[in-house]
Amino acid sequence: MIEVVQETDEALWRDFLAHEPGVSLFHTPEWKSFICETFNYNSYYLFAKNNSGQMTGLLPLFYIKSILTGNRLSSLPFAYRCSILGDPNSQAALLTKALELVEELNPSYLEVRDSLDHSSFQFTNCYSTYILELSNNPDEVWKTFKSNVRRNIRQSRKYGIRVEETKAPKALKGLLQVKLHHKKEVRVPLPPLVFF
């Protein structure tokens, strides 16, 4: 029998993560704290446990209020993918509990950024993942770029654009101005300064 709860001992949580395949940063207690403290979102983390109290699954959820995209339960904001962890029975119990939360909280929708085989969900392709194979030879990496990408890089160099690593507040504010311009174009809200 699988029980789903919304609170668990952090040591039990960490032990589960240490032994579970598919774990990412987005499943950690630190990520939960970061999102709660930075964006003031309400968390609804669901933990599956077996009869002996051992953790067997995890589905992290946040309730997000948005006039742009509608109120939603999301697994997980600012993550391109956040797999439901656990064995098939635990995953099924977690999804059932998530659907009960939808009835209780009445969001516009439940967003799970993972591949699901469940009749209550429909697949949408809103996000993309790009992987660039790197090598020690920059010329080899350069050859993998499409011609328009190489042209844009050359043009950026021509105009003196450079990449530099800094934590200076003035530089971060400049970055935010650039991101704000882009986010306005695509009509997406900008995370606050503390996110960076």
- Kindly report, as residue ranges, where domains of CATH 3.40.630.30 are found in the chain: 3-112
Least confident of 97-106, 120-129, 172-181: 120-129
Average pLDDT over residues 11-20: 94
Q: State residue 80's pLDDT score.
A: 73
Nearest to 118 by CA among 132, 97, 134: 97
**Model-level pTM?**
0.67
Q: State residue 87's pLDDT score.
A: 92
In the numeric block, which tokens belong to residue 34? 């970061």
Judge: domain 3-112, CATH 3.40.630.30. Answer: yes
For residue 182, pLDDT over 90 is answered with no
Q: What are 125-172's pLDDT values in tens digits?
A: 666 667 777 888 989 889 888 999 999 999 999 998 888 888 787 877
Average pLDDT for the chain:
84
Give 4's contacts (C-beta < 8 A, 6+ positions apart): 46, 47, 48, 49, 93, 94, 96, 97
Report residue 93's pLDDT band, with 50, 70 and 90 as the boundaries: very high
